[in-house]
Chain A
């Protein structure tokens, strides 16, 4: 009997696989390709207290082994999200993780409080989006700010909170410890790495926002390293992500110390990526005669 269940701050997921916020909408579009019941959790696109229009286009560009995005957290706002997206996800036997974004501490708290009475399992606090001028990464690059926003969200949250960290820092463990000190229940990492691409024919930036967040297989080694470092630095469970496109990639993160994993950019080029990762992890455990996925978490030291 193979046990793929994982526990994140008291929430039991049937398996460790979810998708990364922003790559999956609220699940409706990808439900045409994958059975959401097979995922450990669905993580929604970031939602704010009011609708956000996002950045001008072009918002994405391809890079070697990856892509840059500067969507700018376009979202329909919490009111429509609660009415439309949560009821959609409730049809499925999976956990719901809502990614929360804001420009100010008050914005975050408003969304966190609003979700308190909703059938949501975990809240992921986005303090790491590199593509918005206010909020996002501004809260994620200073340990004092990380601790303060974590404490503020935690004190208003009914659900356990996941703090999503930015890799755009000198020492990721400092930020992870700050989140832990602020009362975080879970840590997720990494968000995208700030990058830039220049269109040499047009002699301009490839993205209207000039910079964007780098994601995809190109960033995976950085992400695995950071997950490993954070796993050594804090006692909290970790959701690892950054370039995962196969079960082998996911297992790297788990062996490095992640209790769960998220598939992001791979959804864009393989809409079946999430469930393929679930299946691949199962087959790996079967082949290696492993009974409990927990025995793999952080097994490489």
Chain B
């Protein structure tokens, strides 16, 4: 699998919720080899903003050579992306990182957990996971997104911090309150959520795969900016550090210290 930098055409741009946008892009080389859980680097056109923005893949259409990203406007760089219109071009690099090992979920009862802007990568993951899927999505408030897409793929439970939709609280509150059972977890979301999910899985001796994020520069494993702490000595770094961009972003929960 070769990483490629290419200039891709924007096919559509749509606002899904407050500050949350969805963009479909046509890519000649990246979509055909991408897998769920991977990400792409997107470059701004503003020369003063040097670093690419790493954004996870929400949907992958291999045959149509299309990728969908659903992203949050977190600053000026992502604000620029949100203003791009269909027909415009954007520079991207990918596919980056390792996806979710889907085979780990085969034949098992899988819990797919997404929190906030960690929800989008779970969509393609859910689509490609075979078998029994329960999807638990956590939002801050009624500004939800991707609900219909997930409902087409499995049983969906929703938690909102303000209780406006579904269970009041976080994804773990939803799991406990709805008595959701599973054998393995695939999760992406903010660190406090992942910490809770890791603890929950450990208590029940469940397999647990977590997708992490951190500030990145290169996105390919060279600059050592985006490390997370690992439980043991990592074979590449020779210290208790793993590169999220290259060794991750998906790790077994027991491999990493959150």
Contact = CB atoms under 8 A, between A and B. Distances in A.
B73 interface: no
A216 B3 contact: no
Most buried by A among B215, B216, B238: B238
A87 interface: no
Contacts of B240: 53
B224 A58 contact: no
B246 interface: yes
A20 to B, nearest CB: 11
Given A57-B215, A61-B215, A268 B51 contact: yes
Contact of B51 (A30, A52, A62): A62
A59 B225 contact: yes
Interface in A17-59: 22-25, 29-30, 32-33, 45, 51-54, 57-59
Contacts of B238: 51, 76-77, 80
B83 interface: no
Residue of B49, B51, B217 most packed against chain A (CB within 10 A): B217
B239 A265 contact: no
B13 interface: no
Given A32-B2, A76-B239, A269-B52, A59 B246 contact: no
Contacts of A30: 220, 222
A60 B223 contact: yes
A150 interface: no
For the complex, would chain B's binding face be called helix, strand, loop or mixed by DSSP majority? loop
A66 B47 CA distance: 10
A271 B5 contact: yes
Most buried by B among A30, A58, A267, A271: A271
A67 interface: yes
B220 A32 contact: yes
Contacts of A59: 215, 224-227
A69 interface: yes
A243 to B, nearest CB: 10
B214 interface: yes
B50 interface: yes
Contact of B222 (A29, A61, A76, A216): A29
A57 B47 contact: no
A30 B225 CA distance: 16
Interface residues of A, number: 38
Given A52-B239, A76-B239, A71 B225 contact: yes
Contact of A268 (B48, B50, B228, B239): B50
B43 interface: yes
A92 interface: no
A65 B51 CA distance: 10
B224 A268 contact: no
B241 A74 contact: yes
Contact of B50 (A25, A62, A271, A272): A62
Contact of A57 (B51, B52, B218, B226): B226
Contact of A269 (B51, B222, B246): B51
Interface string A59-90: 11110111101010010110010000000000
Contact of A33 (B3, B51, B216, B246): B3
Contacts of A57: 214-215, 225-228
B93 interface: yes
Nearest to A272: B5
Contacts of A32: 2-3, 220
Nearest to B217: A268
B236 interface: yes
Nearest to B246: A29
A33 B5 contact: yes
A29 B217 contact: no
B120 interface: no
A53 B47 contact: no
A131 to B, nearest CB: 12
B223 A71 contact: yes
Interface in B45-67: 47-52
A67 B51 contact: yes
B158 to A, nearest CB: 28
A29 B222 CA distance: 6
B5 A265 contact: no
Contacts of B2: 32
B241 A53 contact: yes
* Residue from A24, A29, A61 with most neighbouring chain B CB atoms (10 Å): A29
B225 A69 contact: yes
A76 B237 contact: yes
A76 B241 CA distance: 10
A58 B223 contact: no
B221 interface: yes
17 contacts: A22-B223, A23-B218, A23-B222, A25-B221, A29-B222, A51-B238, A54-B227, A64-B48, A65-B48, A67-B51, A69-B217, A69-B223, A71-B223, A217-B50, A267-B222, A268-B217, A271-B93
